[in-house]
Structure 1
């Protein structure tokens, strides 16, 4: 008996569950213009947890010929009897006529359910051919020439030509200046004249020396430099004794003796704190002057100074070359801009 009761209950549940399944189809608007949109909805009312499969138009984009599916979307709603699942297809059509959508197959828990058919009217845009008569095409119109439209072409072109002219002028001026440069004769002091000039300056400023040691140091430095330049002796790095020994081979003994007295006195002043009076200071300076006068060597008074890149305004030339290059680049850019503007006006 119990077995029959269980079978009866299952049959009742199956009948009730089958009765709860409902499938409908609808359009939110049944009339659209060509290219307009409408939404075709398939709604399934089924128990919760039911497996539902809707028609798929992802690969086949047309429900019926000339009706295209743009996209689709699925929504689920809870109801008192179960769930309401809706699949919405956004559709459009490109031919004015009446379309009948056939019943669609929907699978619910493996069983096929059919929707009802729906009708969509697609209409073309009405054209009033009475009040809006067709007009013939217009003839080709000639655009009047105006100088204002060509200002953006003419001004950059003129400016580019001016810059090119300035660049060429600077280039020619630079070349002419370099080509026409001539060496100048300049007087170069000889060893003798340099020494005499420096000794003269020391004599004039004798009273400005705060110590005799500084005075005699300057005097002997002039003498040592003269000996180095005149006789090729490294007098600046040698002692007084070594200098005098070297001079014996190239100077008279009287001249060497005069210098010996000078060097001895200077060494005493520098290293033994010896002091001399003003007359002695003049005497020893005159002794050095006499030695220079006796050993002087005649040298050319003038030499030609050859031009070098460092002497002849090298920095100015570099700046001039940079300016010429910059002007040429700006000129090219202006020409390209003028050509582009002319192309826009002519095409």
Structure 2
């Protein structure tokens, strides 16, 4: 007797546990509707994740008089570390006949075993009619013109403004690309210093660099004689840069006397010894030759009119448009053209939506 009771309790407990593994519930958003109104029926199935579910196949109606307008895609919610699933599905229904409808249970299949939800009820009311005044009819209302507000046309206005701006820019770039005109640059050149001032400026730079005088006499005399050669070429008009020291002195003897060129000749001779014979002059000798160079420049310089005002000259330089410039113009044409077309499309679409 005791064994039988234990077996019955175990069987009852096992059946309850098995029943709890799958639960099917149905609910409805509204139990009462007017004819033509809609409501939703919700089906919820809770089951283990390792089971297979087959939802009910519903076509056009739940029962006669209750139409199914839409069946939503099932939604799955995972619980207990994906061990349990809760699947929900919505059915949008309506009715056009006033009555009290019995909605039968919704049946699902879980591992080839049937499970049913609870049944539902739906009350559909007809639209009330004024039966006391059946002769009163109200005709159709006149069409009411709704005023256009800024919110209705702002997108259209902005689209056409963008179309005009980028369209104009596209036309400008197209004209520039087709003309292929050279780019003209105007360069201002400051007036050139007189030869003696230019020479004195470079001598001051040589004078300031004491290390060159002590450590590299060859560079020192090269820089000093180059300054004198450049000054002579610009002052006296012959190419002293390509001449030897003796040739320079011979040309200067045509405009200067021998005595006045004595110090300059000594400067060139010392420079030749340093550059070609590795002569090592003393520091005072270097300073003396620097002074000789300055004296020669001061004695032979041409004084300019102090009242003459020198204006900077302007030079126009034409440069052909480069390949990169043409590519940049083509990219600009494409970009502005696309934006203008898109803006035109948006504007036209706004007009169609607003007035048609």
TM-score, normalised via structure 1 length: 0.44
Larger Rg computed on CA atoms: 1
